Amino acid sequence: MNCRETERLLPAYVDDELDLVHSLEVEEHLGECRACASALRQQRTLKEAMAGHAPYYTAPVELRELVERQAAAHFGSADLAPSRPSRRSSWRAGRWLALAAASVFAVAVIWRVAPRPLRPIPDALESQVVASHVRSLLASHLMDVPSSDHHTVKPWFTGKLDFAPEVPDLSGQGFTLAGGRLDYLNGRTVAALVYQRRNHTINLFTWPSQTADQAVERSPRDGFHVLHWSRGGMEWWAVSELNADELLELAGRR
């Protein structure tokens, strides 16, 4: 089992929904792959955070009546009638009621708390960034184009991406360009630029963004420091075991 297959099965594994054969295959891979093991820890942390801190509200009578009307419209009143319903129709109606109630309730909760910005903790994309960083170090595939010359690295991406990534020369600030590679994050192919500072490796990921400029946010994750910011229509993520203050210098220089 490879990383992609394991990533697809992790949510079901966390919820104990996998059969024995697939569970054993996932566990075997997790014992060999630090990146996937880290992703598992993040998913479990998210599940515990949701269980311990997510708000719960009692559904109002109006919401229940709305769900019942929608269920009746979908199945017809006969399916939901209390007089001797069949086991199958009761199960179907009950399941639909539960799904409909959950959907309507989720919309109601989001509306209730808006417009306060919501950020998942831990952030799923942040987990992807850290996993890609770790995977690049473990799989001996840190660079597709090893070079300290940004005039060599930048043209290499031409035709391989649907955008032209900026490849900043940060050697004057103590960050030596080591090369670049293609990576896959947030559902798309992105540019990964690799820098060195002393014996520390820094992965700098970038791709186009539709959001407004955003100041640098930093957070520790699994022993690494992670930075995220948006600037000039591009999204940037930097991750390294380098101390946070020095990593912030990189974000300020580019």
> Where are the alpha helices (H) located in 114-253, listed in sequence order?
124-138, 150-156, 244-253
Whether 183 and 225 map to the same domain: the answer is yes
Phi and psi dihedrals of 253, rounded to 5? -85, -30
> Within a domain: residue 119?
no
What are 239's strand-pairing partners? 203, 226
Range name among 8-22, 99-113, 225-239 with the lowest pLDDT average: 99-113
Please give the average per-residue pLDDT across 153-178, as a whole number.
94
Please give the average per-residue pLDDT across 162-183, as a whole number.
94
Q: State the CB neighbour count (10 A cutoff) for residue 103.
A: 12
pLDDT for 198 equals 92
How high is the mean pLDDT of the chain? 80
Which 3 state secondary structure label does DSSP give 162?
Answer: coil
Whether 243 and 146 map to the same domain: the answer is yes
> Within a domain: residue 99?
yes
Q: Does 235 score more than 70 pLDDT?
A: yes
Range name among 111-115, 135-139, 166-170, 237-241 with the lowest pLDDT average: 111-115
Whether 209 and 128 map to the same domain: the answer is yes
Give the CA distances from residue 7 to residues 36, 48, 106, 210, 230, in Å, rounded to whole numbers and listed in that order: 7, 19, 26, 27, 27
pLDDT for 233 equals 93
Q: Give dist(CA 167, CA 171) in Å, integer.
A: 12
235 contacts 211 by C-beta, under 8 angstroms = yes
Range name among 131-140, 148-157, 186-195 with the lowest pLDDT average: 131-140
Whether 33 and 70 map to the same domain: the answer is no
Whether 84 and 162 map to the same domain: the answer is no
Q: What is the pLDDT of residues 180-212, one digit of tens each?
A: 999 998 889 999 999 999 999 999 999 999 888
CATH number, position 237 = 3.30.200.100
pLDDT for 20 equals 74
| Domain that residue 40 falls in | 3-53
Q: Give dist(CA 156, CA 176) in Å, integer.
A: 18
pTM listed for this prediction: 0.54
Q: In what order do the strands lie in the sheet with 176-185?
A: 145-146, 176-185, 188-197, 200-208, 234-240, 224-231, 214-221
What residues contact 175, with CB distance under 8 A and at least 6 apart? Answer: 195, 196, 197, 202, 249, 250, 253
> Within a domain: residue 47?
yes
Number of domain units in the chain: 3
Q: Give dist(CA 194, CA 196) in Å, integer.
A: 7
Q: What is the pLDDT of residues 39-89, one digit of tens each?
A: 888 878 777 766 665 566 667 777 778 778 877 776 665 444 444 444 444
pLDDT for 118 equals 38
Q: At 119, is the pLDDT very low, low, confident or very high (cuts 50, 70, 90)? A: very low
> Within a domain: residue 118?
no
Q: Does 92 score more than 80 pLDDT?
A: no
Q: At 101, is the pLDDT very low, low, confident or very high (cuts 50, 70, 90)? A: low
Choice between 48 and 3, residue whose per-residue pLDDT is larger: 3
Q: Give dist(CA 67, CA 240) in Å, integer.
A: 49
Is the dihedral angle over the CA atoms 97, 100, 105, 106 positive or is it negative?
Answer: positive
Q: Does 116 score more than 50 pLDDT?
A: no
- Of the chain, the percentage scoring pLDDT greater than 90 comes to 35
Phi and psi dihedrals of 140, rounded to 5? 55, 35
